[in-house]
Amino acid sequence: MRVYLDFEKPIAELENSIRELERTAEGGNVNVADELTRLRAKAEAMIRTVYGKLEPWQKTQVARHQDRPHFEDYIGGLIEEFVALAGDRGFADDTAIVGGLGRLRGRSVMVIGHEKGRGTEGRIKHNFGMARPEGYRKAIRLMRMADRFRVPVVTFIDTPGAYPGVDAEARGQAEAIARAIDCCLDIKVPLVAAVVGEGGSGGAIAIGAADRVLMLEHAIYSVASPEACASILWHASDKAPDAAEALKVTAADLLRLGVIDEIVPEPLGGAHRAAEDTVRSVGDAVGRHLDQLAGQDPNALREQRRRKFLDMGRGI
Amino acid sequence: MNWLTNTVLPKIRALGAKKEVKDNLWTKCPACAQMVFQRDLDAAQRVCPHCGHHMRLGAKARLEMLFDDAQWTRVPVPDVPMDPLKFRDSKRYSDRMKEARARSESPDAMTVGLGRIGGHPAVVTVQDFAFMGGSMGLAVGEAFVTAALKAVSERCPLVVVTASGGARMQEGILSLMQMPRSTVAVQRLREAGLPYIVVLTDPTTGGVTASYAMLGDIHIAEPGALIGFAGPRVIEQTIRETLPQGFQRAEYLLEHGMLDMVVHRHRLKEALARLIGLLTVREQVQAVAEIDIPEAAPTAN
Ligand SMILES: [Zn+2]
């Protein structure tokens, strides 16, 4: 069953008629081929129109779509010989951030990413992709290891944000995020980050201060969720669509602001309609950037990464 | 205790000289609700004489309090793009900025000063909560980077006094990018072998805590200061429980290993002077080592 978003209602109606017609065709000898072709073309045109001018708040919903490919799909589709590595060596294994070694297009890489989980049980297990300090500390451990063995790091960003809880605060949530950013900017191996869903604030930048930051076409990346921003600045959470607009959260905005380096196009109708194609496109882009970064002088590479962030926003 | 002679007395003199009007004002302590005479409160560096509550302190007063003889020079911070997102909520961000600037001595929420602490040259950069909640946008990031690079060029320590609700939402993602940006500045200090001391004051939360405020060589907090990543209200909404007593206060963070010490404002300058003194012996050690090496070589043969 396809899950439709509110703004996809006209698409849903059309596609339901198509499905009905397909069932009718299966049952009898009625020739509906012409009608089906016509309706399919109409649906495609409609999707193209709707997705061609998604508003920031609509993109926010697409970025959070339950069928959007997750970290585990990227691992499954892109990484061979994957070996998951667990634990921060201090307190726990936080599965809101998953990581491990594997091969991307033949190259040994350290892969780290947020996992939101699927289904009620999965979402609870992965805490909806909201990491506690141990998640960031695991990421630090894996990045340091990658650095030691000259293995490039690839991160997949998809989180509503760092977990706001008593336990997380007690164990130093802020310090863990700060150290993770510090680590991203300290390692001397290539670091490529892909914002594939929601780039939620500090929880995102913790594994996102990279040489190259790629972003899926309908992903969002923001200092605060539109809901949180609306409740702080508008004092009304129903102003989230306005906040999404004002915050400039879309890939096109961020490319223009110099915060990301490349937009990875999504299949027609969004990543959730064709997960495998999306995963492959992201893999192609990440692979291309890893190729470009390979063989660079480690010190020069790190200095370039630091300069990029030091200069960010100055030239707007 | 030379904070009295170095900081308080000059301040009282300064107050007596130009701001007679202010003497008639009273302030109500938010902690004990007692009324405090404005002049007494300023002389006590805005620490309540009745209950010891540390009230928020402006950037200028803070710099005067920390530098020897209240003497410091402002380090100019380069201009940054204004209102890069053309942000508007119920009000235009550019109008909010105009209002904030009209009420402030600084163009934004962070002021950088150069002076001496206990005789040692130091750069001190102070965040002012009164300026849009001390929020971190391009200007605060630029001020922090400027402060760190100034410390590097002067070969002296950097002290940051934080007070911030976090990122400045009106600058969107560019505010978030101040986290890695300020982190690079901290790395520059680290690689130059210079001490970086963080003084956390009430309140320090959000992206500021999750970047330069938690990357110090030494973390000092003022008593009772609220320090955390998520604000208490956000946490309460998430867990739907009342938060424990003293949660996210300086003393709680000390207990949880996030701070080196909690220091009363009246002893802060003294603590900084001592730490800077203890951490800046490197040049002496290097000088000694240079003399020792040629002498050691013949004995090794
Ligand atoms: Zn009081």
pLDDT tens-place string over residues B106-155: 999 999 999 999 999 999 999 999 999 999 999 999 999 999 999 999 99
Structural contact between residues B200 and B250, judged by C-beta atoms closer than 8 angstroms = yes
Is residue A165 less than 8 Å (CB to CB) from chain B?
A: yes
Tokens encoding A260: 């990301």
Residue (of A65, A128, A57) closest to B238 by Cα position: A128
B299 found inside a domain: no
Q: Which of A46-50, A88-92, B284-288 shows the lowest per-residue confidence on average (mean pLDDT)? A: B284-288
Any idea what the CATH number is for the domain that residue B107 is in? 3.90.226.10
CA A162 to CA B281: how far, in whole Å? 40
B37 found inside a domain: no
B136 found inside a domain: yes
Which of A170, A179, A310 is nearest residue B181 as measured by Cβ atoms? Answer: A310
Indicate the Cα dihedral angle B44, B118, B140, B227, nearest 10°. -60
Query: Would you list the domain boundaries of chain A?
Result: 6-53, 60-310
Which of B169, B177, B227 is nearest residue A309 as measured by Cβ atoms? Answer: B177
**Which residues contact residue A247 at a Cβ distance below 8 angstroms, ignoring those fewer than 6 apart?**
A56, A222, A223, A224, A226, A229, B85, B87, B169, B172, B173
**Chain A residues within an 8 Å CB radius of B248:** 169
Domain count, chain B: 1
Locate the chain B residue with the closest alpha carbon to A132: B229
> From ligand 1's centre to the CA of B65, what distance in Å?
20
Contact flag B173-A222 (C-beta cutoff 8 Å): yes
For chain B, counts of helices (H) and of strands (E): 12, 9
**Chain A residues within an 8 Å CB radius of B89:** 233-234, 242-243, 246
Domain hosting residue B201, numbered range: 57-282
**Chain A residues within an 8 Å CB radius of B180:** 181, 184-185, 205, 209, 309, 312
> From ligand 1's centre to the CA of B30, what distance in Å?
7
B230 found inside a domain: yes
Contact flag B177-A259 (C-beta cutoff 8 Å): yes
Is the pLDDT reported for residue B299 higher than 80?
no
Confidence of residue A316 (pLDDT cuts 50, 70, 90): confident
CA A139 to CA A88: how far, in whole Å? 8
Structural contact between residues B143 and B134, judged by C-beta atoms closer than 8 angstroms = no
N- to C-terminal Cα separation, chain B: 53
The per-residue pLDDT for B281 is: 73
B35 found inside a domain: no
Residues linked to residue B92 through DSSP beta bridges, in sequence order: B88
Confidence of residue A43 (pLDDT cuts 50, 70, 90): very high
The helix/strand/coil state of A168 is helix
Using DSSP bridges, classify how beta strands A153-159 and A191-200 pair: parallel, antiparallel or unpaired. Answer: parallel
Tell me how far CA of residue B206 lies from CA of A223, B119, B197, in angstroms. 10, 34, 19
Contact flag A178-B212 (C-beta cutoff 8 Å): yes
Strands annotated E in A6-106: 79-84, 97-104
Cis peptide before B78 (omega within 30 of 0): no
The residue among A130, A132, A169, A198 with the most chain B CBs within 10 A of its CB, best to mutate, is A169
Contact flag A174-B169 (C-beta cutoff 8 Å): no
The helix/strand/coil state of B75 is coil
CA B166 to CA B178: how far, in whole Å? 11
* ipTM confidence: 0.96
Could you tell me the pTM of the whole model?
Answer: 0.92
Confidence of residue A70 (pLDDT cuts 50, 70, 90): very high
The per-residue pLDDT for B81 is: 94
Contact flag A174-B210 (C-beta cutoff 8 Å): yes
Q: Which tens digits make up the pLDDT trace of A100-157?
A: 999 999 999 999 999 999 999 999 999 999 999 999 999 999 999 999 999 999 999 9
Structural contact between residues B109 and B132, judged by C-beta atoms closer than 8 angstroms = yes
Domain A60-310 has CATH 3.90.226.10: yes
